[in-house]
Structure 1
Amino acid sequence: MSSSTHSTSAQSPDGRKEPVVYVVDDDESMRLALCGLLHSVGLRVEAFESSQDFLAFPKSDAPSCLVLDVRLRGESGLTFQEQIAKSGVRMPIVFMTGHGDIAMTVKAMKAGAVDFFTKPFRDQDMLDAVANALARDGERIAAEQSTAAVRSAYDSLTPREREVMGFVVTGLMNKQIAAELNLSEITVKIHRGQVMKKMAARSVAELVRMSESLGVNPKQKKPS
């Protein structure tokens, strides 16, 4: 059950979704203290007593992070970290513990944790770690959205346009592509223009980057 209140609305005035910090700790006093700290800087917080409550709660698609206690009642936060990864939840994790040791810290960081604090910790250190985690998740979401947009644009190309794009990103000129595809140069020029327009590419270099992000293999020139 969530034990927090929303300090901000789910969306900012400019339409961007507000970041969310999820807190999982079975110590109620710590949950309340963390909620108060994070609310004090205007963050939306959802806090939970158990990992099961967190997993059952509908997640926001806004930039998010999880502040997680390593020792939860009846389970290990490190084991839960593995469950989160398997469930497809990809938000960064900030660990905290009252019983930290070097081996535990190393294991958590290797598994992708962005920070690890031993209680008691400085409030500003936690706020800095959360800000860093939210920024990292925002970058991940932006990159995924960008790749999805490029994929959608590529899917809108006709088979012939994809062929032409494959040769364009290798650096071939229209005349050379025309010879490769047994087309007229003017036809290749039209297809090339459509590719640049549909992909919203401002240069061949940008088209090359898009091709690489999609994992599209460039066409190989036929041996002469």
Structure 2
Amino acid sequence: MNARAYLVDDDEAIRDSLGWLLESRGVACQSYPSAEDFLAAWEPSLAGCLLLDIRMDDMSGPELFDILCERGSRLPVIFLTGHGDVPMAVSALKKGAFDFVEKPCNDNELVNRVIEALKLDENRRAAASGADSVNALVSRLTTREQQVMELILAGKLNKVIADELQISMRTVEVHRANLFEKMGVRTAVELAQLLAGKR
């Protein structure tokens, strides 16, 4: 799924001008005239960021934001606000919105914020897929290998691990070698680094 900016605004002139502005800076953009239209098109795999007008007929920007949050959307959201909407935008920031920009806005500043939001989304997705792949590796370990791994991560030596699990040192060494191979690491330090992101 290609990342893009999703622009939701009921003002056609703003959709056209912002759409052109984003495309001129190399940011793919898809516009929607209402919150309902975007909601109908939304799916969890959408990548990019959301530019969302606060005041629209029918469903408002904050109402759409709340629904997306309930559905588990991770899209960074930038609210487009009129002067009187700042308190509403600040409230949305506290709920996890990425930023708000007052209209009329500085064109380059807005696009810069969109590019930052796209980068944030890309980083989040990379971290999530990394955590998923690490979880998949851990799930291949036997229960005993997982126990040995936890004790290795706690900094315990093979002899201490053997005592705690009431198994021989040789057995600990075998489990250790097997789990390192399955996790694709050579040392305890590499193992700790691999797992750091998912803990």
TM-score (norm 1): 0.81
Per the TM alignment, residue 35 of structure 1 is displaced from its structure 2 partner at its CA by 1.2
Aligned positions of 1:67-216 closer than 5 A: 67-211=51-195, 213-215=197-199
Per the TM alignment, residue 140 of structure 1 is displaced from its structure 2 partner at its CA by 0.9
Per the TM alignment, residue 201 of structure 1 is displaced from its structure 2 partner at its CA by 3.1
Residue identity opposite 1:107 in structure 2: S
Partner secondary structure for residue 71 of structure 1? coil
Q: Deviations over 1:98-120 (max 9, x none)?
A: 34344223112112222211211
- Check conservation: 2:81, 2:101, Cα contact below 8 A: yes
Per the TM alignment, residue 212 of structure 1 is displaced from its structure 2 partner at its CA by 5.5
Partner secondary structure for residue 155 of structure 2? coil
Q: Kindly indicate which of the two structures has a greater share of residues assigned to helix.
A: 2
- Check conservation: 1:66, 1:94, Cα contact below 8 A: yes
Distance (whole Å) between structure 1 residues aligned to residue 123 and residue 84 of structure 2: 30
- Check conservation: 1:23, 1:67, Cα contact below 8 A: yes
Partner secondary structure for residue 84 of structure 2? coil
Partner secondary structure for residue 54 of structure 1? helix
1:43 paired to 2:27: yes
- Check conservation: 2:54, 2:85, Cα contact below 8 A: no
Q: Which moved more, 1:107-116 or 1:94-103?
A: 94-103
Distance (whole Å) between structure 1 residues aligned to residue 25 and residue 187 of structure 2: 42
Per the TM alignment, residue 75 of structure 1 is displaced from its structure 2 partner at its CA by 2.7
- Check conservation: 2:158, 2:172, Cα contact below 8 A: yes
Residue identity opposite 2:33 in structure 1: E
Per the TM alignment, residue 77 of structure 1 is displaced from its structure 2 partner at its CA by 1.1
Per the TM alignment, residue 23 of structure 1 is displaced from its structure 2 partner at its CA by 0.5
5+ residue gaps, structure 2: none
Distance (whole Å) between structure 1 residues aligned to residue 159 and residue 102 of structure 2: 65
Q: For the structure 1 residues 35 and 60, does the alpha-carbon distance in structure 2 shift closer, same or farther, using more than 3 Å as the test? A: farther
Per the TM alignment, residue 183 of structure 1 is displaced from its structure 2 partner at its CA by 2.2
Q: Which residue of 2 aligns with 1:219?
A: none
Q: Deviations over 1:10-39 (max 9, x none)?
A: xxxxxxx53211010011111111111111
- Check conservation: 1:63, 1:135, Cα contact below 8 A: no
Distance (whole Å) between structure 2 residues aligned to residue 202 and residue 139 of structure 1: 26
Q: Which moved more, 1:27-36 or 1:103-112?
A: 103-112
Aligned positions of 1:6-21 closer than 5 A: 18-21=2-5
Partner secondary structure for residue 91 of structure 1? coil
5+ residue gaps, structure 1: 1-16, 216-224
Distance (whole Å) between structure 1 residues aligned to residue 107 and residue 195 of structure 2: 44
Distance (whole Å) between structure 2 residues aligned to residue 116 and residue 58 of structure 1: 21
Distance (whole Å) between structure 2 residues aligned to residue 212 and residue 181 of structure 1: 24
RMSD: 2.0
Identity of aligned residues (%): 38
Number of equivalent positions: 199
Residue identity opposite 1:45 in structure 2: C
Distance (whole Å) between structure 1 residues aligned to residue 84 and residue 113 of structure 2: 17
1:31 paired to 2:15: yes
Per the TM alignment, residue 42 of structure 1 is displaced from its structure 2 partner at its CA by 2.0
